A = this chain, B = another copy of it.
Amino acid sequence: MNHTNLKEQNQEIVLAMYPLGVPTADTFQINNIDMPELIEGNVLLKSLYVSVDPGMRGFMAKGDDDAAGNKFKLNEPITSRTVAQIIDSKNDDFKKGDIVHGRFAWQKYQSASVDNIEKVNPELAPISTAVSMLGVPGLAAYFGMLKIGQPKEGDTVVVSGAAGSVGSIASQIARIKGCRVIGIAGSPKKIDYLENDLGLDKGIDYKQTDNMVAAIKAACPDGVDVFFDNVGGELFDAVFANINEHARIAICGQIDDYNKENPPKGPRPMNTLVKKSARMEGFVVYDFKDQFDEAKNQLSDWYNDGKIKYRENLIEGFDNIPSAFISLFSGENIGKQMIKVGDVEDSEK
């Protein structure tokens, strides 16, 4: 029965053309491909949950200025963080049935080297969270808020993109640390989620607000001590206009910029940084690689204690990966955008 799956048709999704602006259906192409051959030392993966994130847009640009070598190539499969099951193994460290995660190709089945594969511990939380709450988004929230934002009890903390996968966790971590937390998001449904589900002190719907500088000022009468920014652009400027002395600004993402060809222009922030003795810092989770285990354990404790709520926006079907990715830029989703592309198989079968 080992090879039930191998009779199924395999598929992949490749980058068909470099997007200009927001990616469209034409950016991607689905191909039928052969089932992979499992070579010595590798494992055969069946994709279960595929994660899509706005930051991936940065890897779809032409050119090779990305030092990390993450750029997608034309006619090659897109890769993203994925939870998969090992359905066959020629490696002694991984056995059939194991649930793992890693940055895998958008392929239903693939043979993969085990170099960058990590096992998922199903005891911590539902396995899909390995690439969401306990994956890059959760870790970004954890390290960005705690190590860069450094919130102190009583601080006022503003989070943009607060209903998203990173922002929702970052906001709740600041609440756990005793801060007053204001979340910015873009729909009444999201504001309801922030205020009533996550328990933030206030949500601001930027799409319903003419003067964001004044709205932030009204919501933060004592000024802003920590700003966790997922958005950038004019939303950044509005929060930045309200920062306190010694404010810490964690730059996590800049979704407002990702679809623009050149770095957009905006008011230079340097003078204000000097006047306020403020700090602005970018980061990626891998800066904190040696603290991943500590962070995952803490996040899973908070989750299991009910201190962190987590929502996934789960879409079904391999074919729907591109549209699930594209919809990230419409600002409509609440929670982590995930695509379920396969079911866990009982390894005893």
A residues at B contact (CB < 8 Å):
58, 66-67, 229, 232-233, 236, 245-246, 251-254, 257, 262-284, 287
Contacts and interface: CB of A to CB of B under 8 A. Distances in A.
Nearest to A252: B274
Contact of A282 (B257, B274, B283): B274
B277 A279 contact: no
B277 A280 contact: no
B283 A280 contact: no
Contacts of A280: 269-270, 273, 279-281
Given A282-B275, A284-B277, A270 B232 contact: yes
A264 B267 contact: yes
B282 A276 contact: yes
Contacts of A67: 245, 275
Contacts of A273: 251, 280-282
A263 B271 contact: yes
A138 to B, nearest CB: 18
B263 A265 contact: no
A257 B268 contact: yes
A287 B281 contact: no
Given A254-B270, A266-B268, A273-B282, 17 more contacts: A66-B275, A232-B268, A232-B270, A232-B271, A236-B270, A246-B287, A251-B273, A252-B274, A254-B271, A262-B267, A263-B268, A263-B272, A265-B266, A265-B267, A270-B282, A275-B282, A281-B281
6 contacts: A252-B274, A254-B268, A254-B270, A254-B271, A257-B270, A272-B282
Best-surrounded residue of A229, A263, A278 (most CB of chain B within 10 A):
A263
Contacts of A246: 287
B245 A274 contact: no
B279 A284 contact: no
Contact of A267 (B233, B253, B263): B263
A245 B268 CA distance: 21
Given A229-B270, A263-B271, A281 B282 contact: no
A268 B264 contact: yes
A252 B274 CA distance: 7
A251 B246 CA distance: 14
A220 to B, nearest CB: 15
Contact of A269 (B58, B269, B274): B269
A276 B67 CA distance: 9
Nearest to A278: B282
Nearest to A265: B265
A281 B280 CA distance: 6
Contacts of A271: 58, 232, 254, 257, 263
A282 B282 CA distance: 15
Contacts of A283: 274, 277
